[in-house]
Amino acid sequence: MPAPRTAARVTSGQLVFGNPEEAKGGRSLLWSCDNGRRVGVTMKAVNGSVKLNGAAVAGVRQVHAPPQPTPSVDDDGGAFRLGKFVEGRLVYRQQFVIRSYEIGPDRTATMETIMNLLQETALNHVMCSGLAGDGFGATRQMTLRKLIWVVTRINIQVDKYSRWGDVVEIDTWVASSGKNGMRRDWIIRDRNTKNMIARATRETRKLSKIPEEVRQEVLPFYLDRSIIAADASGGGGSKIEKLTDSTAEHIRSGLAPRWSDMDVNQHVNNVKYIGWILESVPQDVLEDYHLTSITLDYRRECRQSQLLESLTSMTSSAAAELPLPASSRCSSDLQSTHLIRQQDDRAEIVRARAEWSCKGHEVRSSSPGMKL
């Protein structure tokens, strides 16, 4: 079994990985996890101080990192799987190409695709930070205490959907949320234009007090920057009203979670709820409108044995400002409210609220100055 690897968090912002075995002169060979490649550095303790490649640094803290496969001469897969750190290592950036199986009938990436890319970027951020334990996205201290992250709410706003073959660039970072929660934010840019095309924010559920050991693990990575204001339209902290049989206009029953819908914690993957929500959205809305914003409020976990129902209510927003093309069937933009519940006892699983823009409209432009 290979020796465990370690990571060092240094005040200069350098994060290094390596085996604890000694090189000549008492030096330890380490590897940088940055820019999707490995860069060799050396660390040496001299009279109580630490030097990286001969330069003195202070405030070194050792934490464990997961074992990483040693690439062969022809294996550069890490360059495609991992991104890089920017802004003093507080922001993690990764690029993805939109695949043919990630687009929908209108030949653009689906909302499920966007959520999957956000999740992948977040997990790679944790891994490349040297925080990952044995759990799925959990830190070492969380793994020791058998804790997992549980999402309470996510809000995604899309200005433009990418097409097959487009390359997107995703930035993500974390911050505290209240006393016992954590928030993660993302922005998505078109790689060629660098224009921001989507943004998202997610909060974890405050089930219990975050242990101080876990807090100290993630504290060096906190960046106090919100990409979506709490009172922004369609997202933030505003309450989503509960739908009932009398208030819902469309109900789809008999939705059965499959084994492939489960995550590693034996709960339905958060992304899967998007598809079930769309099951009760009228067909003409799906054909004529873009889903420009959605907020999901997760109420409880769902397992495979539970049959689900999807409820939807559609309302018209203010009249469109732009003239509609003659061929468009849209009269105005739309808002919708959704509920995913258990079919037997009608227990709530997810509440959601969404905004829809007619495909004949230009989507709202990105906020100025957001080319971070």
The yes-or-no verdict on residue 81 having pLDDT over 70 is: no
pLDDT exceeds 80 at position 33: no
pLDDT value, residue 371: 41
Structural domain containing residue 25: 6-64
- The total number of structural domains in the chain stands at 3
Which pLDDT belongs to residue 6?
41
* 150, 270: one domain: no
Q: Show which residues are catalytic.
A: 265, 267, 302
The pLDDT tens digits for 107-155 are: 999 999 999 999 999 988 888 877 665 655 666 667 676 666 678 899 9
111 residue type, one letter? M
Whether residue 56 sits in one domain with residue 86: no
Among 39-53, 63-77, 221-235, the least confident range: 63-77
Mean pLDDT score, 345-358: 96
Residue where one domain finishes, among candidates 179, 200, 230: 230
- Check residue 234 and give its pLDDT: 43
Pick the range with the lowest mean pLDDT from 48-62, 154-168, 261-275, 284-298: 48-62
* CATH code, domain with 179: 3.10.129.10
On whether residue 323 sits in a domain, the answer given is: no
Q: What is the pLDDT of residue 10?
A: 38
Sign of CA dihedral 63, 68, 169, 104: negative
What tens digit of pLDDT does each residue of 175-214 get? 877 666 788 999 999 999 999 999 999 887 544 567 677 7
**Rounded mean pLDDT of the chain?**
76
Residue of 292, 363, 370, 281 whose CA lies nearest to 322: 363
With CA atoms as reference, report the closest residue to 17 among 128, 114, 104, 115. 128
